[in-house]
């Protein structure tokens, strides 16, 4: 190849290289410019959001301050309520104690099999665990058949008869009658028992209307104000 032709080829290659390099540099600059533009947009967006948050916090500040003021105003009132609650507590306890004292405990016991002979300490009718010093009311019902004999149901407390139910019939045919008795007493012992007696054979203590009821009268006291 002639020398002139070689020089043309070399110049052509050089120009191609320079053009390619220029395009590459241009594209690189475009990419970098685009990345920089995206970063700038992101920063602008963040700054905008931060500004919105700062505005929202600024709007909340007076409300928080208002709540703190309300809390300070309520504090002495809460303390006052706590004081009232402390003062009321013993009164509530007194009311509960009074309500408990007004509850009347009672128990009923009944004879399930008739008696035809003198009997001391009828087990079915006996009470135990009475509180010494407390007041009780005893109600007695006895279904009696006396005939020519006196038939008697006795209530015994601390060795003494505190109440009794006695047949009134004197008919030898033996009429059945139901008699009752009520007694109020202050316990001096812990038991209350019942005996059956008859003056001669022929008397009976019958069922089902022979029973006794004991009530604890917690708020009852003896008095002489009606004398």
Contact yes or no for 167/204 (Cβ under 8 A): no
Give residue 134's domain range: 105-216
Output the pTM of the full model.
Answer: 0.57
Higher pLDDT, 175 or 37: 175
Which residue, 81, 103, 125, sits at the end of a domain? 103
| Predicted confidence (pLDDT) per residue in 129-188, tens digit | 999 999 999 999 999 887 667 889 999 999 999 999 998 765 555 667 888 999 999 999
Residue where a domain stops, chosen among 69, 103, 137: 103
Structure tokens at 227: 């004398």
> Based on the domain organization, do 110 and 206 belong to the same domain?
yes
Query: Residue 211: pLDDT band by 50, 70, 90 thresholds?
Result: very high
CATH number at residue 146: 2.60.120.40
pLDDT digits (tens, 9 = 90+) for 110-144: 999 999 889 999 999 999 999 999 999 999 999 98
DSSP secondary structure string, 106-161?
EEEEE--S-B-S-BSS-GGG-B--PPTT-EEEEEEEEEEE-TTS-EEEEEEETTEE
Q: Structural domain tally of the chain?
A: 2
Helix (H, G, I), strand (E, B) or coil at 217: coil
Which range of 12-21, 50-59, 165-174 scores highest in mean pLDDT? It is 50-59
């Amino acid at each position: 190849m002639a020398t002139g032709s070689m020089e043309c080829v070399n110049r052509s290659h050089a120009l191609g290289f320079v053009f390619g390099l220029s395009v590459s540099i241009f594209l690189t600059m475009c990419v970098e410019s685009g990345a920089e533009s995206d970063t700038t947009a992101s920063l602008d967006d963040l700054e905008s959001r931060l500004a919105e948050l700062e505005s929202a916090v600024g709007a909340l500040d007076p409300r928080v301050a208002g709540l703190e003021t309300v809390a300070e105003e309520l504090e002495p009132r809460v303390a006052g309520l706590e004081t009232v609650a402390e003062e009321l507590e013993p009164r509530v306890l007194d009311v509960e104690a009074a309500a408990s004292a007004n509850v009347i405990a009672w128990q009923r016991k009944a004879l399930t099999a008739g008696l035809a002979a003198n009997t001391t300490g009828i087990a079915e009718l006996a009470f135990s665990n009475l509180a010494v010093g407390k007041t009780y009311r005893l109600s007695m019902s006895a279904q009696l058949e006396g005939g020519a004999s006196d038939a008697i149901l006795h209530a015994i407390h601390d060795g003494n008869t505190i109440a009794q139910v006695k047949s009134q019939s004197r008919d030898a045919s033996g009429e059945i009658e139901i008699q009752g008795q009520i007694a109020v007493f202050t316990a001096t012992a812990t038991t209350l028992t019942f005996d059956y007696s008859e003056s001669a054979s022929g008397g009976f203590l019958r069922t089902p209307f022979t029973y006794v009821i004991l009530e604890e009268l917690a708020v009852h006291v003896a008095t002489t104000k009606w004398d």
